[in-house]
Amino acid sequence: MDNNTITIQDVADALGISKTTVSRAISGKGRIGEATRKKVLDYIEEHNYRPSPLAKGLAQSRIYNIGWVIPGDSGSRALPFFQRCMSGVLDVAAAADYDLLISMTYEGNISHLKRVVDNRKLDGLILARTMTDDECIRYLSGTGLPFVVIGSTDEKGVIQVDNDHVKACAELTSILLMKGVGKLALIGCGDGMVVTKSREEGFRKAFELQNKKVDEDLVFITGSEILDIEVAVEDALIKGAECMVCMDDFICTTALAKFKRDGVKVPEDVMIASFYNSPLLENNQPAITTLRYDPRGLGIMACQNLFKCIDGECVPEKSMLGYEVLLKESTQIL
């Protein structure tokens, strides 16, 4: 018999026992004598039997699917981040013989997420983004399904994996203040996202630590359209901003494009920095001061923690990954 085609039924027939007994021996659950358990395990080891995900799922009451939930209304600007996170999730999931089921949610519409959960298609899932008022988290908290979020939330008992945005943004802002930059403008968008709130908190914390006041006229939390960002950039320039601190790479590239059209030179006329690095900024001249994170690492840790939750293991409620401050020519004082 080809060992690759051996099934639970084949093992049961060969040993003269039921499929249920074989399943209990494989899963380690249910009533079964130690002698019988040993007989089954010895047989499958001798014949190099490797249960298929379906067979293991039946034996362990698992489906061997996990969910990857991304916001459908985030736009193409956020896709590279989600893709890099997902690559980490996929690596861990594949090693555990799990498949990934992708679900998309929209503001005010999480029907697809509810459908896959209600139809019991998942052993657990990962939310790729958190909101300040998060309908997905509220729903999942009442289902009993194991889940992990990439990001932070104030909801109690939710397993979170995130970068320490407050600390990272405070550090970069503090460096700019210590360099003597007097008028810092902060430009962000997406005021419903937790990451926006965290990055603004870090920016403000840097001023607090140095006993300085934030110029509220230079804080712009605007819409996510290019025109919204360009209006904020223009307003900041008119108000005499010496440095634009952009919350993410898209805002930064939008500002840089406007500078180029308007003949504004970096860093001669205005400095610029980004609270998030990405390939969009890597080849810019002059090089941009940024914060570097590891999205793939977020996905890896989130998936590892999810599997621990599925197995009933204790997991820290919040895990923080590190960051790196990259000081480049865009914030050089001439």
The mean pLDDT value for 77-101 works out to 90
Residues 75 and 155 in one domain: yes
Residues 276 and 206 in one domain: yes
Whole-number pLDDT of residue 49? 64
- Give percent of the chain with pLDDT exceeding 90: 67
Residues 243 and 280 in one domain: yes
Is the pLDDT confidence value at 150 over 90? Answer: yes
Residues 172 and 227 in one domain: yes
> pLDDT tens digits for 225-250?
999 999 999 999 999 999 999 999 99
Domain that holds residue 228: 165-292+325-331
Residues 235 and 223 in one domain: yes
3-state secondary structure labels for all residues of the chain = CCHHHCCHHHHHHHHCCCHHHHHHHHHCCCCCCHHHHHHHHHHHHHCCCCCCHHHHHHHHCCCCEEEEEEECCCCHHHHHHHHHHHHHHHHHHHHCCCEEEEEEEECCECHHHHHHHHCCCCCEEEECCCECCCHHHHHHHCCCCCEEEECCCCCCCCEEEEECHHHHHHHHHHHHHHCCCCCEEEEEECCCEHHHHHHHHHHHHHHHHCCCCCCHHHEEEECCCHHHHHHHHHHHHHCCCCEEEECCHHHHHHHHHHHHHHCCCCCCCCEEEECCCCHHHHCCCCCCEEEECCHHHHHHHHHHHHHHHHCCCCCCCEEEECCEEECCHHHCCC
- Under the banding of pLDDT at 50, 70 and 90, the label for residue 328 is very high
Q: Which of 13, 28, 60 is the last residue of a domain?
A: 60
Residues 72 and 26 in one domain: no
Residues 180 and 245 in one domain: yes
Q: Residue 12 sits in a domain of what CATH number?
A: 1.10.260.40
Is the pLDDT confidence value at 3 over 50? Answer: no
Residues 84 and 198 in one domain: no
Is the pLDDT confidence value at 205 over 90? Answer: yes
The mean pLDDT value for 7-13 works out to 79
- Under the banding of pLDDT at 50, 70 and 90, the label for residue 52 is low
Residues 117 and 219 in one domain: no
Q: Which of 43, 60, 77 is the last residue of a domain?
A: 60
Q: Residue 157 sits in a domain of what CATH number?
A: 3.40.50.2300
The mean pLDDT value for 248-257 works out to 95
Residues 171 and 274 in one domain: yes
Whole-number pLDDT of residue 1? 46
For the chain, the domain total comes to 3
Whole-number pLDDT of residue 53? 53
Picking from 106-115, 252-261, 268-277, 321-330, which range would have the lowest pLDDT averaged per residue?
106-115
